[in-house]
Structure 1
Amino acid sequence: MNHLSFITAYIGYNSAWFLMILVAIVSFIVQWRFKSKFKHYSEVGLLSGLSGQEVAVKMLRAHGIFDVQVICVEGQLTDHYNPETKTVNLSQDVFYSRSVAAAAVAAHECGHAVQHAQAYAWLSFRSAMVPVINIASTLTQWTLLIGVMLLIFSHNPFVLAIGVAALALVTFFSFITLPVEFDASRRALAWLNNNYSIVQTTEEHEQAKDALWWAAMTYVVAALSSLATLLYYASFLFNRRN
């Protein structure tokens, strides 16, 4: 490797490393901000007095969905919709709470149920990718570090190439998740805005909107973090050619 190639490789590695650190800092800030917002809005009671579970049931019924159950699950921020079991899973803090945050999260998860019922293309595509992504995620855990070591000591890029390819799939999946999450929030806010018996004031609606916006930002930074990690490991492959 000549001096110019060495400098190019050095810049490539360090640029990718700097990007990873930058994204990690932004991710920390966004996560902190989201948790802070969620905690604040969890203390703001709904004037309607409805619980997260009641909001979820009302939204499902309003969209003609009667085959989806709303259940309570353990943990914090573990809320999700499971298309396989057709269940809206709400954490205890959301299921029983009668707050703005609980209403927003419950409506968002029901937004996924509505997507499923209406065969929303992005959700269908994302769901179809899950089995492949599970395999790819397992591969990345073993192949990236081992691949880098093999590349350094034996100049064999094969294992690392497999790891980078698997990570590329995981990264692609994280970006596919974004339109699914944004659309679910859009559906949730539209429904809440049209149902004054649930979110009764403009202030409550704006608070719900703010909570869901910060929740969406956590998915954005997660996707960017995955991309930064991909570029970092890919830089080992690209720069070995110099």
Structure 2
Amino acid sequence: MFYFDSTMIILLPAIIIAFWAQNKVNSAYNKYSKVRTMNGYTGQQVARMMLDEAGLWDIQIEVINSKLGDHYDPSSRVLRLSPEVYSGQTIASAGIAAHEVGHAMQHKEAYKPLVVRNSIVPVVNISSSVSWILFFIGILMGFKGLVTLGIVLFSGAVIFQLITLPVEFNASSRALNILKTRNILYNDEVNGATKVLDAAAMTYVAAALMSISQLIRLIAISNRD
């Protein structure tokens, strides 16, 4: 393992940012999950209103037993919300529910970055795992071709992380715009929801930086004599 130790410093900035981003999202969520909205809508009600107004009546909303595991599943066209978001009448629950509806709207409109991301998911899931195996076999056995192939395959994970950024930022932008214009949230409530979603977005930025750093690290290792 000592062979790889010196390259770990490449990951250090990304690791620090990742910890900061996770603390930021936890802090924002914990704060605004305790602040009840003036309208008192639950996350489920917010999502249902937004979906119906977007003409997405067929999309069902389900509860998933996972804290902050909220997501939109494009394959089954189901919006899944954690219990806290589904039943919560808070700024955090409204913001998160609206964000996931933003993804459903992207799906309906065939938003390009989302289409590209969804199309490469199966390939990236396989290539990102295989890349490490090929890379380490190549390093241990001195097969430069396998090392290069591993790096190329891992690049797919980096591309996926980069494409994810506009998808997430756009979903948040859609969510906040609707929450504000439809008067689902008011003034400081919108600011609170913005802080929650901005904090969540930073975790994706951190993930992208980590994957880029890891790619640089692999290249650095491969260039060793």
Quickly name the TM-score band, shorter chain normalised: over 0.9
SS of structure 2 residue aligned to 1:206: helix
1:90 corresponds to which residue? 81
Query: 1:212 corresponds to which letter in structure 2?
Result: L
1:170 aligns with 2:157: yes
1:111 pairs with 2:99: no
Contact kept in structure 1, 2:44 and 2:86, CA below 8 Å: yes
Residue by residue over 1:127-148, the C-alpha shift from the partner in whole angstroms, topping out at 9 and shown as x without a partner, is 1111111211221343333333
SS in 1 for 2:81: strand
> Which residue does 2:120 correspond to in 1?
129
CA deviation digits over 1:111-166, x for unaligned, max 9?
0000011111111111111111121122134333333333xxxx222332222112
Q: Which residue of 2 aligns with 1:227?
A: 212
3-state SS in 2 of match to 1:65 = coil
Q: CA RMSD in A?
A: 1.6
Q: Distance in 1 between matches of 2:116 and 2:53?
A: 26
Distance in 2, Cα, partners of 1:147 & 1:81: 39
What TM-score results when the alignment is normalised by the length of structure 1? 0.87
For 1:27 and 1:120, the matched residues in 2 are separated by: 28
Equivalent residue letter for 1:159: L
Q: Match of 2:137?
A: 146
Show the counterpart of 2:203: 218
Structure 2 counterpart SS, 1:117: helix
- Once residues 102 and 110 of structure 1 are traced to their aligned partners in structure 2, the CA distance between those partners, rounded to angstroms, is 12
Once residues 37 and 136 of structure 2 are traced to their aligned partners in structure 1, the CA distance between those partners, rounded to angstroms, is 49
Change (3 A) 1:36 1:145: farther
Counterpart of 2:71?
80
Map 1:38-77 to 2 at 5 A.
38-77=29-68
The answer (yes or no) to whether the contact 2:51–2:57 under 8 Å persists in 1 is: yes
What amino acid is the match of 2:153? A
SS class of match (2:47): helix
What's the CA shift for 1:63? 1.1
8 Å CA contact 2:139, 2:222 repeated in 1: no
> Which residue of 2 is the match for residue 5 of structure 1?
none
Quick one: distance in 2 between partners of 1:112 and 1:130?
Answer: 16
C-alpha distance in structure 1 between counterparts of 2:170 and 2:120, whole Å: 19
Percent identical among aligned pairs is 36
Supply the AA of the counterpart residue of 1:194. Answer: T
Which stretches of structure 1, 4 residues or more, deviate above 4 A after TM superposition?
none
Larger CA deviation: 161-170 vs 174-183 = 161-170
- Alpha-carbon deviations, 1:190-232, whole Å to 9, x = none? 1001011x21x21000000111001001000000000101110
Distance 1:147 1:233 in 2: 12
Instruction: Name the stretch that deviates more: 116-125 or 137-146.
Output: 137-146
Distance 2:110 2:125 in 1: 22
Letter in 2 for 1:131: P
Structure 1: 5+ residue stretches without partners: 1-9
The alpha carbon displacement at 1:52 in A equals 0.6
Q: Which residue of 2 aligns with 1:18?
A: 9
Aligned to 2:25: 34
Structure 2: unaligned runs, 5 residues or longer = none
Between 214-223 and 136-145, report the one with greater CA deviation. 136-145
TM-score (norm 2): 0.93
Q: Residues 149-192 of structure 1, C-alpha deviation per residue, up to 9 Å, x if partnerless? A: 33xxxx22233222211210001100000000000000000100
